[in-house]
A = this chain, B = another copy of it.
Amino acid sequence: MAEPLRIALAGLGTVGTGVIRLIETNAELIARRAGRPIAITSVSARDRSKDRGVDLSPYAWEDDLTSMASRGDVDVVVELVGGSDGPALTLARNTIAGGKALVTANKAMVAHHGLELARRAEDAGVALKFEAAVAGGIPVIKGLSEGAAANAIDRVYGILNGTCNYILSTMEDTGRDFADVLSEAQMLGYAEADPTFDIEGVDAAHKLAILASIGFGARLDFASVDTAGISRILAADIAQAAALGFVIRLIGMAELESADGSCRLFQRVQPHLVPVDHPLAHVDGATNAVVAEGNFMGRLLFQGAGAGDGPTASAVVADIIDIARGEKGATFSMPVSELEEMPRAQSGHRRGRNYIRFIVPDKPGVLAEITAAMRDADVSIESLIQKGRAEAGGEVLLAMVTHEGPESAVTRALELLDGSDSLAQPPLVMTIVGK
């Protein structure tokens, strides 16, 4: 058998220790599949003394993780430190500059610096891989960049954040409110102490920007992802949605808008209403799922565990096995120079159905003012439910679903209502996922 592929592991959190456990547990099988053994040679983390439940004595310890990049006994550096900049980025640059392959699970770093790193990797002739950065254990980077490579893809969307999906599906199952379910999720370890990146959609936006780049052959553009989170969703929204035949999911949606021979890139993370007969409506708990629509393959769905040490380690080691097999590939499915620069699409161009929820004072004339604004902006209302809220004295919930129409009309209607004392708080708009 060929020489082992030598791995340096930077970062020994749950994923890092998961990678060690995986490589140790499945060593023989991995060697058969990779054609050579995978050997961890050195590890690094902030705290050497911490008990991580794995025996680190077989591996050299490196106090300064960025110096992993210059070790002579390393072929691949696995970066599991996290953070878009700082030590992770320094390590990534040094690794590539040192002529070593880089595997990372760091979505923030890839979303912010992916093109720069990919160009450096191309110049150095080394592999840069990040399957674990998107949707945990689901091989969706490989699925898009290789499995679906023959297709022009014009839509990639999915459930990309397990924490949000856990919270939403628990709200759905129990009828409880957001804040209540969030604190339980934090206690159970399903949500971070500071959950902002998850619940405000930033984590999903990182992943969406990566998927859009690979799917569309577009230059990665995280800055133009329009992002909204789930913290404003009420138990009552979920109940209204259910009554109308929908569930609520945080969905990252990327679309290619072709017009006048050029392409624009639409990227948005926001809560959506998903029809109960859509495959994404059955994705519960911390599960992730990604849908890609191609001009020949039709609709393809990948579903699996979106987080956790085991699934994420599975994706990290899949990248390592690819490298051991000599399959380097282009980082974003094509060389950076081939990626198309696409301007941001205006969401107003999109047509669709929307759910709009208002919290309004319980007084005469409110309904007339809101429906007049809809009429004046040419928003056609398909259904409307007004419902008293037991917990909020004097305020009622008003939920409507629009007929299909331009999003710009909904925006205009809400502008007409802006500042009106008919609204007790800003309205919440959620797009309905089409067929």
- Which residues of A pack against B, CB within 8 Å? 18, 22, 25-26, 29-30, 32-35, 131, 137-139, 142-143, 145-152, 217, 277, 279, 282, 294-305, 308, 310-311, 313-318, 320-322, 325, 327, 329-330, 333-335, 338
Contacts and interface: CB of A to CB of B under 8 A. Distances in A.
A295 B146 contact: no
A116 to B, nearest CB: 20
B301 A314 contact: no
Contact of A26 (B143, B296, B321): B296
Given A142-B146, A151-B314, A305 B299 contact: yes
Contact of A304 (B277, B299, B334): B299
B279 A303 contact: yes
Top 9 nearest A-B pairs (CB, nearest first) are A139-B147, A150-B317, A297-B314, A137-B297, A301-B303, A300-B304, A296-B310, A296-B314, A298-B305
5 contacts: A26-B151, A33-B217, A277-B282, A298-B305, A300-B304
Contact of A30 (B32, B142, B149): B149
A146 B150 contact: no
A339 to B, nearest CB: 9
Contacts of A32: 217, 334, 338
Contact of A29 (B18, B138, B152, B303): B152
A435 to B, nearest CB: 13
Nearest to A284: B277
A148 B321 CA distance: 10
A378 B152 CA distance: 57
A301 B298 contact: no
Contacts of A320: 150
A24 to B, nearest CB: 11
A313 B294 CA distance: 12
A325 B326 CA distance: 11
Given A138-B300, A279-B282, A311-B297, A321 B150 contact: yes
A314 B308 CA distance: 32
A29 B149 CA distance: 9
Contact of A137 (B139, B217, B300, B316): B300
A277 B284 CA distance: 10
B296 A18 contact: yes
A293 to B, nearest CB: 10
Nearest to A38: B150
Contacts of A142: 142-143, 146-147
Contact of A147 (B29, B282, B318): B318
A33 B310 contact: no
A279 B150 CA distance: 27
Contacts of A329: 325, 327
A35 B314 contact: no
A150 B26 contact: yes
A247 to B, nearest CB: 13
Contacts of A139: 143, 146-148, 300
By CB atoms of chain B within 10 A, which of A18, A148, A314 has the most?
A314
